[in-house]
Structure 1
Amino acid sequence: MGIGGVAIGIAFKDIFQNFLASILILVTRPFRVGDQIGFTEYEGTVEDIQTRAMFIKSYDGRRAIIPNGELYTNSVLVNSAFPQRRWEYDDGIGYGDVTVNLRARWWTRSQKTDGLNAQDRVLTRVKQALTEADINTPFPTQQILFHEQTERIDGDRRRQREGWPAGSGEVREPRAARALHRPTPAWQPIRYRRAPRARQCRTRSAGRSRRRPHRTRG
């Protein structure tokens, strides 16, 4: 057959695998058209099962095409396999400086819409009950503190201010605050002094000049 036959065999391997997987799915019927399943990151309602792949309509209105070979060889979660399905939701309440998580569970019909509608009613009633019992539900917060560096009490942690805990011991005043409160010296006239004159240095040549002989007239 050669290299061409090997390439054709590899190309048709996935086709034959998906075809056989579709036959096994239709015979064993682990799920049917209209069931709600979950496969890896996909979750939705089965629209159609063909010889090559299966079509799933996600809950946000998109379509996922999954090969039958992957469906048959991997785990699939069938959410609508039974008439009823259990749901749960975690909620936190404040208890001192910590949060205590409470888990609410309830049963509805196995369809996704029934579970979401029931969840809305459950959370509303839980919120009303906590409010009537004066129980707060903490939520994550972020506090941003703006600190002025030129204040006189900057750095004094003996005083609790702007969310800082009170400290102990003597704390020096900041450098910027000490500069602002430093006494200003009295005004003094500025006296200008004349700069000294530069000394003039005489330079001599390296060789000394010779005196000319004195000529006398005879």
Structure 2
Amino acid sequence: MEFETLLMDLLRKGIAFIPNLIVALVVFVATLLLAEWAARSTHRAVKRQSADSETMLLLSRIARWTVLIIGTVVALQQVRFDVTGFVAGLGLLGFTIGFALQDISRNFVAGILLLVRQPFGVGDAVEVAGHAGSVLDINVRDTVLKTWDGEKVILPNMDVFANPIINYTELPLRRRTIRLGLGYGEDVNRAKRLFMETIRGVEGVATEPVPELLVEELGDSALTLVLRFWIDQSKHALFGVHSAVVQAIKEVAEREEIDLPYPTQTVRVEGFLPGEPS
């Protein structure tokens, strides 16, 4: 009699458990499908950012396992499984791994944020963390630059993310400033006119914004002129145009006999010179 009662009790519990089991199975199957969709969607989204294959694979796996873990926890809850210990264990494991690999973790998170924000792309000319050059590669752990001197620099993404970033490619117009001394005996207006005509004729100097030549100060040996002009570095070499402007100014000064004096000092000696009678 007791056996029959126990059997009936188990049967009732089993029948009552079936709906929960079905729901749990449905949730788990849906989790598998959703995890696959999340992985593919992440792969496509990261691929549009021109990321490398390693980055795409890593982020796809993270998306898949994140969905799988959440879905598994939800499915276990449907069958009245106590997931408190399971979740606590995952949290402790994550904390331990994160603490042990905190530098790697920070660079990884910074890499993801850089991929999302996109402050620069591969091939862009940038300056970051004291290094300037073109971007060769962007990974989830580091960013690779080729400096103007031809050196390969690997920067941890945390350093890139935590420092100001100058993207020269995004705004290609760059202003250059040249200071030159003009002799006090020269006609300032004439010199400015000749210099401006010369500058406008140099290939690569932008017409907008308009170049300007101003008198900055009265120096010890000359008037100090300040020349400011702009270069579209997406079309012209920055340093090449700068060099051409300097050379053109020197040539027109020599041709028009405009005095660009060297810094000089006048020494005034009072009293008697050595050897002279007092």
Flag whether TM exceeds 0.5 (same fold). yes
Larger Rg computed on CA atoms:
1
1:32 is matched with which residue? Answer: 121
String of CA shifts for 1:5-46, please: whole Å, max 9, x gaps: 999654411111111111111111110010011123211000
Q: Which runs of 5+ in 1 are unaligned?
A: 143-162, 175-218
1:178 match: none
- Among 249, 254, 260, the alignment partner of 1:126 is 249
Q: Which residue of 1 aligns with 2:178?
A: 89
C-alpha change, 1:105 and 1:164, in structure 2 (3 Å) is closer
User: 2:184 matched to 1:61?
Assistant: no
The one of the two structures with greater contact order (alpha-carbon pairs below 8 A, sep at least 6) is 2
Give 1:118 shift. Answer: 1.1
The answer to whether the Cα contact below 8 Å between 2:129 and 2:163 also exists between their aligned partners in 1 is no
With normalisation by structure 2, the TM-score equals 0.46
CA distance in structure 2 between the partners assigned to 1:18 and 1:169 by the alignment: 73
Contact 1:48 1:55 survives alignment (8 Å): yes
Counterpart mapping for 1:182-197 below 5 A:
none
Which of 138, 147, 152 is the matching residue for 1:49?
138
Q: Distance in 2 between matches of 1:62 and 1:110?
A: 21
Partner of 1:18: 107
Q: Quick one: percent identity of the two aligned structures?
A: 34
Q: 3-state SS of the aligned residue for 1:104? A: strand
Q: Given residue 63 of structure 1, which amino acid in structure 2 is its aligned partner?
A: K
The change in CA–CA distance for 1:170 and 1:88 in structure 2 (over 3 A counts) is: closer
| Aligned residue pairs, count | 150
Cα shift readout 1:95-129 (whole Å, capped 9, x = no counterpart): 37523322222222234961112112211211122
Over 3 Å counting, the alpha-carbon distance change for 1:35 and 1:168 in structure 2 is same
1:36, 1:111 within 8 Å by CA — same for their partners in 2?
no
- State how far apart, in whole Å, the 2-side matches of 1:109 and 1:88 are: 15
- Give 2:231's aligned residue: 108
Structure 2's unaligned 5+ residue stretches are 1-93, 186-219
Q: Name the stretch that deviates more: 63-72 or 133-142.
A: 133-142
The structure that is helix-richer by fraction is: 2
Write the distance in 1 (CA, Å) between the matches of 2:247 and 2:276.
54
Retained in 1: the 8 A contact 2:142–2:157? yes
CA distance in 2, matches of 1:172, 1:125: 50
Secondary structure of the structure 1 residue equivalent to 2:116? helix
Q: 1:134 to 1:32 in 2, by over 3 A?
A: same
TM-score with structure 1 setting the length = 0.57
- RMSD after superposition: 3.4
- The CA deviation at 1:166 is 5.4
Match of 1:74 among 160, 163, 174: 163
* Distance in 1 of aligned mates of 2:147 and 2:276: 64
